[in-house]
């Protein structure tokens, strides 16, 4: 019974580290592939959206 908190703590820590690693790898893959959308708050992001919107209408 004394080892149960240690096992739970290490299991939780391992899960968080694995989830973080998988998340970072997915983000890096999206950035490499160019499949991610830029934020509409950034200057180049809003310009890209406006450019796409202008070509969709015309």
Q: How far apart are CA 58 and CA 54, in angstroms?
A: 6
pTM over 0.85: no
- pLDDT for 35: 62
Per-residue pLDDT of the chain (58 residues; tens, 9 = 90+): 889 999 999 999 999 999 999 999 998 888 888 766 667 777 777 787 777 776 655 4
Distance between CA atoms of residues 36 and 49, nearest Å: 13
User: pLDDT tens across 33-46, in order?
Assistant: 876 666 777 777 77
Task: Identify the pLDDT of residue 17.
Answer: 98
């Amino acid at each position: 019974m004394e080892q149960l908190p240690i096992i739970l703590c290490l299991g939780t820590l391992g899960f968080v580290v694995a989830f973080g690693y998988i998340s970072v790898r997915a983000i890096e893959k999206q950035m490499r592939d160019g499949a991610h959308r830029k934020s509409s708050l950034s200057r180049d992001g809003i310009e890209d959206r406006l450019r796409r919107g202008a070509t969709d209408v015309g």
